[in-house]
Amino acid sequence: MLGLLNINKPSGITSHDVVNVVRRITGVRQVGHTGTLDPLATGVLIVLIGPATRLARYLSGVDKTYSAVVRLGETTSTYDAEGEVLLRRPVTVGRAEIEVALEAYRGPLLQTPPMVSALKVGGKPLYKLARKGQEVERQPRQVTIHALTLEAWMPPELTLTVTCSAGTYIRSLAHDLGEQLGCGAHLVALTRTATGRFDLAESVTLEQLRALAEVDRLTEVLLPPDVAVVTLPGVTLTPEMERAVRYGQSIELPDAPIAAEVRAHDADGSLVALLIPAEDGRWRPTLVLPAPS
């Protein structure tokens, strides 16, 4: 198998757990994911199958969209509902105050990752250090929130739609918003509704995937590897070019686009390789996918 799956991750399991389930369902060992979701979170998790795992870097940096439910009045140790409540404060703000506060989080901003996260410091994930009761200094990171909308306000909970750059922590956004409002807050529910061009409406659950596997219909939801690099310019190879590329040889590309990298397809439109310019004016492959069986 070769391609991508748009999985609707359920709550209560890790992204790595999803990878293990997909391995068992598909019978393929080479499986990976892009864009970790916390156990509490649900929604779009892109899983790569077979040699398509080599395309992960083209998806890890894309923008994400989330629907987040935030509860005001309680601060927790993990910034979400899975942590211990550290402080309770009265909620005296209304919708107007919340709208004003949200303005500070639109656009570029510096965000400090929470201790309970998969981010590594000194080679160790922060959440493992947090489990030992350790807290280390975390450097703020620049992220961008492209759009932030207050969808509902039912005290003490509010629902946000957030479109943001990769690496944005919605838990930290909830925590910081609560501190700004003076009452504290934590995240109680999170659904990733989109990862780049991949939408929740087009995703499949693990139960659906298992049912398709039982009747040998997994290919119906397996996306071609080309969708991972669709933003790159594309070229079509002749059979002679394809043969050379599959042997790792550089080729000439007449009328080649002006680009740092291109995706090369065979005559049937299947992705063969990714090519970059070589010093001699030719194009050399940096990644070659196996020929369709």
Residues 6+ apart with CB under 8 A from 255: none
**Whether the Cβ atoms of residue 1 and residue 222 lie closer than 8 Å to each other:** yes
- Give me the DSSP letters along 159-199: EEEEEE-TT--HHHHHHHHHHHHTS-EEEEEEEEEEETTEE
Q: Name the CA radius of gyration of the chain, rounded.
A: 22
Residue from 72, 79, 76, 64 nearest 161 by CA: 64
Q: Which residues are catalytic?
A: 38
Paired strand residues for 185: 72
Residues 222, 66, 230: CA angle, nearest 5 degrees: 40
**Whether the Cβ atoms of residue 202 and residue 6 lie closer than 8 Å to each other:** yes
* CA dihedral sign of residues 160, 114, 110, 119: negative
Q: How far apart, in whole angstroms, are the C-alpha atoms of residue 175 and residue 189?
A: 13
For the record, the structure tokens of 258 come out as 């002006």
